[in-house]
Every structure is written in C-alpha cells, then in structure tokens.
Amino acid sequence: MQGERLKETQNINRSLSSLGDVISALATKSSHIPLCLMNSSLFILAKNSKLTHLLQDSLGGDSKTLMFVQISPNENGVSETFCSLNFASRVRRIELGPAKRQLDTCELLRYKQMEFNFADSLHTWDTLSSDLRVLR
C-alpha cells in the first residue's frame, strides 16, 4: 500500500511539473520563435502527462484559466504543502496577457505563396488578353 501511495505522489508531482512547464512555455514572449514552432513544442510538452493533455485546450488561445492549490494545515503534510505553495508561486508569476491575433510565420508564408500565385495568374491573364487583342 505504501509503495502505491509513493507511486501516486510521484505521478502527481510529474503531472504538476509538466503543467508548470507548459504554462512557462506559454508565458514565453520570445518574438524570435515562430508561432508554428512554438505551438508544436507546446503540443509536445502537453503530451508529457495526462493532466496537461487534458488541459491543453484550456491553456492557450482566448481561454482564461483559474487555478486553485489545496494545502493542508496538518503537520504531516508540510512537505506536500510546501511543494504546492512553490508550484502556486511559480504559476502566479506568469502573466499570459490578452490574447492577440497574430499571423504566425507559417501562415505568413502561405499568404505570400497565395500572393505569388495571384500575381502569376494575373500576368498570365494579361498575356492572354494581349494575345486576344492582337488576333482581333
């Protein structure tokens, strides 16, 4: 029974650590990382535990997340309470700020390709139009 409780505690701590990693990654405001790469690394981080996998849709985009941390006044739970408070402190410092509509690098490349295709089609149309005028 004692071994099962230890294993459960380790799994909970691993999940909370993964959750903290995902939240920290979301809070990263590095403009030099393309959003599509950031999203893929967040996806990988979210797969590290069942908890983060379940919360994946609630931790980004336009979502608002509220987190509660339970602590115990019991002396036997001092270690767990301390870990919980450290986790809460770590998460509390993170401010995601208002959601912004950004074009990520991948989306921007798609639009550039569309612009190029449109310009190419327009050039082809102009050429055909000129050829038709000559034939008249």
Percent of the chain with pLDDT over 70: 71
pLDDT tens across 36-85, in order? 445 555 656 667 788 877 877 777 666 677 888 888 888 888 888 888 88
| CA angle centred on 43, ends 54 and 31, rounded to 5° | 130
What's 100-118 look like in SS3? Answer: CCCCCHHHHHHHHHHHHHH
Q: Is 60 helix (H, G, I), strand (E, B) or coil?
A: coil
| Domain range enclosing 25 | 2-102
Could you tell me if 83 and 122 lie in one domain? no
The pLDDT value recorded for residue 27 is: 66
Domain check: are 119 and 55 in the same one?
A: no
pLDDT tops 50 at residue 24? yes
| Whether residue 32 sits in one domain with residue 56 | yes
Per-residue pLDDT at 3 exceeds 70: yes
17 and 57 both lie in a single domain: yes
Contact 26, 42 (CB under 8 A): yes
At a CB cut-off of 8 Å and minimum separation 6, what does 126 contact? none
- Whether 41 and 98 map to the same domain: the answer is yes
